[in-house]
Structure 1
Amino acid sequence: MNVLIIEDEFRAANQLQNMLKTCDFEYNLIDIIDTVEDAVVWFQQNEMPNLVFMDIQLADGLSFEIFQKVEVEAPIIFTTAFDQYAIQAFKVNSVDYLLKPIQEEDLQKALQKFSKSNQSQHIENSVLKQLLTSIQTQTEQKNAKTRNGLLVKEGTGFVQIKVADVHYVYSEDSITFAVTKNKRYIVDETIDQLFNSLDSDQFYKINRGQVVAKNAVEKINPYFNHRVKLTVLQERDQEFIVSRQKTSDFKAWMNQ
């Protein structure tokens, strides 16, 4: 059973692999891809896998864009941090989905559904439009209700800090950190979960493992391979490099 994982968060991809093992699901992981661009190239150059796990939000856009550029003739189980959107579209078109953080029981059910059908699934353009519209609507709703506080670990307990005080967020060794002017805190969320709750006008995910606050970016510097490197307040042995696919969009975001 050849399985392809399309996921831009290392921690999430690793957790999925571990959960598949606990589900007694025999599989051969053929690749892990983290961008729309790389996924399109992969599908153009390789045989179709037996099953694809696909995150909806990738490093350079929404995974639905993949289907607009290449035909994917493989069963797909979507994973998403968005709650309660386009569920009917998924059900009607027999496309399964898992809500992050993924629960073992839900994964088991999705695998059982896959085993019973074991058929290629095609996603129609009308469904893509419905899913994209649903995402845009929920994103607008989320941004209208963005969080002001952030619960972080301190000692053996938790304290709340102001989101406005956060300069940047990053993931290292499967741990999410939030950095303020005075301190670095551990956050008990994945970087995707945290980013999805932040104001997109003030925070930008520059690559798979880093989110920066607009007011913390001091300078944008040219970098090789058409990327840019940022000078950010309170840098702690970090390099802030905007991925090539996001450079133009990041500059436009900074210019807003």
Structure 2
Amino acid sequence: MPAYNEAANIAAAIEEVHRLVMPHVRTAEIIVVDDGSTDDTAALLKGLEAKHAALRVVRQENAGHGPALMRGITESDADLLLLLDSDRQIDLAAFPAHLGRMKANALDALLGVRTPRNDPTSRRLLSRMMRRIIAARFGRAPRDAGAPYKLIRTETWRRHVAPHVAADASVPSVLAAIILLNGTEARTEEVEVMHKARAAGRSTLNLRRISALSSRAVTEIRQLHGKLGRRTP
């Protein structure tokens, strides 16, 4: 769970994971990567670590959401990864059903699809553009590649995703979804997740940062296409 200036959300975000996820995977660990926050996020996390034995906080200089997510993944030694953001926009009430679906269908990965999408128009347009670019390059595009809700077996990540995604990737979640749905034998399904409007705090993605992120994402998607040897349909 990456966190950058999420003082308004971080405590509730961890409480939600503790309440809705942990009872179903009792040996799990909550890893939060504080990506150089300049507000009270670090102080709050310090107090939360004392309260929750399963919480581990990793602190780093600000590197961006993608590298923070990658840092959290490399820090984990669990058998199953749950990739989340710290803004509490994903309703976790369906997690037990999703975990059961993974087990029942012997899945390697479950990719969330935000429904309905409660984000500003600029964010939704960015996702739509990414989907078109992915479809043009790979033939098959995830319905919501950037959704901050993915259940992936660690062995699947290490075998299929890690070789193609750099530690400083700006959109590793997007790249993972592309890889898992295009040309691997990983058993992957997409599932709708309830997406809520941000209840507190403000997104740090303004138009300038969205533009820069879009440019980097397009470059990384193009590079992934080259690595995987796919031909544009």
Report which of the two has the higher share of helix. 2
Rg (Cα) greater in structure: 1
Report which of the two has the higher share of strand. 1
TM-score w.r.t. the length of structure 1 is 0.28
TM-score w.r.t. the length of structure 2 is 0.30
